[in-house]
Chain A
Amino acid sequence: MIVLTIITILAVFVALQPIIPTSAERFSEVGILGPQQTFANYTKTIRENQTFPLYGFVENNQGVAEYYKLLVKLGNSSTVVSNSTSANAPALSGYSIVLNDGQNSTFPMNLSINRTGTNLRLIFELWMFNVTTSSFAYTGLWDQLWINVTST
């Protein structure tokens, strides 16, 4: 009787497995790669208006397709950015991509800065489209590169 009950419970559990919702953690990832598509050799000093290559990396593990926008902003040492507040700084560029669940993408970004300065910050913020509000919302994921821009 006990053996039969155990076997029945296990068999029912296996049969229901496909419809039991998974509690896997849902998250997104963002990364900025150097010119060789590695986490190295980042540009530290450029000339004003000089185009320099970087690569953006975005991965979707939200359990459903997502529409991302990677915003590149130009800030300085006093620019405030956190996982709850996006930077109040001018956007240099934006890159949009739609990713299926479990999919990632590495894409080129050719950037240039039209002002000089030391200890400038390139701030990369990941925004995600919210279908309820039909607008992009800050995911709280961000990255940065310190950079010096010299005159031409």
Chain B
Amino acid sequence: MLKLCRLSIVLIAVALLLLPAIDVHSAGAIPSEFSNANSAINSAFSATYSAAENGGNVSALVAQLNGALGLYQKAERENATNSSQASLDLQNVIAIADQVSASAASTKAFGSSAKQMQYIESFGASAAIIVIAILIYIYGGRIYHEIWFYLFRNYKVRAPG
């Protein structure tokens, strides 16, 4: 019984000695986790910005980024009280940011091709308008007279008087 009691005291003493070490780990998410999450958001935004500049529709990416920012701010708030949850939130932030970066690449490609198509359409339409104008200038008179003769082919010309 005495032996058991001694063992319990030793175990409690060891636990008390280890407590500060455990506390260090639960004091908060390590700064590198915040730094990594912050870098991931910055990279994701840069990719989104590039996609937007190239004519891509980035509304969904912007919404996702704001979700990541909300999680980041939540992690900052809860870091002092619930560090494991803060770490989990920061991991989610990185996952969302990476997803945004990946989606931004395809959004950018889609936007670029849409923009290119718009250029082709505009220049094509302009060229067509100019060609039609030249044709009208060259053949317009002849076409007009041909149509006129066709429309009035059954009319009889009566001599005056």
Contacts and interface: CB of A to CB of B under 8 A. Distances in A.
Interface residues of A, number: 27
Contact of A129 (B42, B50, B58, B62): B42
Interface string B112-152: 00000011011101100110010011001000000000000
A116 interface: no
Contact of B62 (A8, A15, A65, A134): A65
A1 interface: yes
B32 interface: no
Contacts of B125: 15
A64 B49 contact: yes
A88 B72 CA distance: 26
B87 interface: no
A19 B52 contact: no
Contact of B122 (A15, A66, A100): A15
A64 B49 CA distance: 7
A130 to B, nearest CB: 10
Interface residues of B, number: 30
Nearest to A64: B52
Interface in B50-66: 50, 52-53, 58-59, 61-62, 65-66
Given A97-B69, A99-B62, A100-B62, A65 B49 contact: yes
Given A4-B136, A67-B45, 20 more contacts: A4-B133, A4-B140, A8-B129, A8-B130, A8-B133, A12-B130, A15-B125, A15-B126, A16-B122, A19-B122, A66-B49, A67-B49, A96-B73, A97-B69, A98-B45, A98-B66, A100-B52, A131-B45, A131-B50, A134-B46
